[in-house]
Amino acid sequence: MELSREALDVFAFAADRTVLGIADLADIGLGADDAERAVKELVDLRLLCRAEGAPDRLTVVPPTVAANRLLRPMERRIQHQHEEIERFRWMFDALLPTYESSRARNSATAPVELIADLRLVQEIIEELTFTCREEVLTAQPGGARCPEALRTAQDRDRRMLARGVAMRTLYQHPARYHQPTIDHVQHVTSLGAEVRTQSEGFCRMLIFDKHRALLGVPDDPRAALLVREPHLIHNMRVFFDCAWRGASPFPLAFDTASAVRISGEIQEAIVAMLAEGLEDKSIARRLGLSVRSCQRHVAEVMKALGAKSRFQAGFLIGRLRGDTADEVPPGAECRVLASAGPPDARRRG
């Protein structure tokens, strides 16, 4: 904060006098309005005060005295706040042994704990992110991710990568065509992370340093399982590594050959699920597609097969997959898949 030029002029004028009135400020070329504003500014800062016995007159206050008058109440309030902070800190610190003892018992008796509150899940992720030192593995099924969740994850990821934590992330193929996800992947890979995609779904999971993990809960996106059991975490890592080896690197720029290959993988997965008799919602969920997009792909496959119904499509696919191999020429399945065309995916610009 700085004094205005008019206030500085008034203070210098007042310092040469015992008392003064506002009308006296005309001597330094100030009009009535400017003089009133300058005087108010100095009074608010305790640099001018009303003269004793003459309320219409003003007297100058030494800056050290003015500073004490203005700042001491503020200092007392700050001191009171510091004392309040210390009292709260002491109270929370006193609870820490009870908490740690309880957590130790839970670790021994509850290797898997259901966390049903989304805010608590997020706080646990923040804590595990902060303490992670070696590697974090992430599997995020479902295609496109919420932009807000990506922004939150980006800040956490940046902090971990800056500490030298290795990071591998798995998405499903449709994430390749979601611009916020593309931007996020470009950012974290520039910092050293690795990202890949695959067609079929997998469990939502986060694994931190081989010691802690979070597993998604089916049909409840607000809940998670907190895993502490080392053998279970080992098996989760084995599953992740298997999926990772079969996944494709997330492209940082559009590549026609890669897009065609990924489209073929999605299409083959749809055909396989039709053969299993799965409904559109189940197929869409497993592939991270919208139901509408899935229905469009299913219609294209049925048209290529010449099927009038889903039942007939499943029967024909079964024949093409070798149920009656003696009646189907070699390569017929590939020709049917090719004629169905690739799934609808927006090309990135």
Tell me which of 249, 269, 295 is where a domain ends. 249
Distance CA 211, CA 213 (A): 7
Task: Provide the residue-wise pLDDT of the chain in tens; the chain has 349 residues.
Answer: 788 989 898 899 988 887 888 888 888 888 888 888 999 999 999 999 988 877 788 999 999 999 999 999 999 999 999 999 999 999 988 888 887 777 666 555 578 889 989 899 999 999 999 899 999 999 988 777 778 888 888 888 999 999 999 999 999 888 887 888 888 999 999 999 999 988 876 788 999 998 899 999 887 888 999 999 999 999 999 999 999 998 888 887 766 666 666 766 777 787 778 777 788 788 877 777 778 877 777 777 777 777 777 667 777 776 765 654 444 444 444 444 444 444 444 334 3
Q: Is the pTM of this model over 0.75?
A: no
Residues 204 and 302 in one domain: no
Residues 170 and 289 in one domain: no
Residues 303 and 320 in one domain: yes
With respect to residue 319, please indicate whether it lies within any of the assigned structural domains: yes
With respect to residue 103, please indicate whether it lies within any of the assigned structural domains: no
Q: In residues, how long is the chain?
A: 349
**Token digits of residue 8:** 């500085």
User: Cα 26 to the chain's mean position, in Å?
Assistant: 62
Residues 238 and 272 in one domain: no
**Token digits of residue 307:** 């099927």
Res 334: pLDDT: 41
User: Residue 50 is part of a domain; what is its CATH number?
Assistant: 1.10.10
With respect to residue 100, please indicate whether it lies within any of the assigned structural domains: no
Res 85: pLDDT: 93
Residues 243 and 262 in one domain: no
* Residue 202: φ, ψ to 5°: -150, 175
Please report the beta strands in the chain, taking only residues with DSSP state E, as ranges in sequence order: 48-51, 54-60, 112-115, 135-140, 166-172, 194-198, 205-208, 212-217, 220-227, 248-249
The answer to whether residues 235 and 208 touch, using CB atoms and an 8 Å cutoff, is no
Res 134: pLDDT: 92
User: Cα 126 to the chain's mean position, in Å?
Assistant: 10
Tell me which of 27, 43, 61 is where a domain ends. 61
**Token digits of residue 51:** 């003269």
3-state secondary structure of 113: strand
Distance CA 323, CA 32 (A): 102
Q: State the DSSP H helix or E strand holding residue 61, giving kind and residue range, or none if neither.
A: none
Res 32: pLDDT: 87
The answer to whether residues 267 and 343 touch, using CB atoms and an 8 Å cutoff, is yes
User: Residue 214 is part of a domain; what is its CATH number?
Assistant: 3.30.870.10
With respect to residue 141, please indicate whether it lies within any of the assigned structural domains: yes
Which residue range forms the structural domain that includes residue 26? 5-61
Residues 285 and 238 in one domain: no
Res 322: pLDDT: 60
Residues 205 and 320 in one domain: no
User: Residue 327 is part of a domain; what is its CATH number?
Assistant: 1.10.10.10
**Cα angle: 203, vertex 208, 211; to 5 degrees:** 105
Q: Which amino acid is at 196?
A: R
Domain total in the chain: 3
DSSP output for 234-298: HHHHHHHHHHHHHSEEPPSS--HHHHHHHHHHHHHHHHHHHHHT--HHHHHHHHT--HHHHHHHH
With respect to residue 54, please indicate whether it lies within any of the assigned structural domains: yes
The answer to whether residues 310 and 279 touch, using CB atoms and an 8 Å cutoff, is no
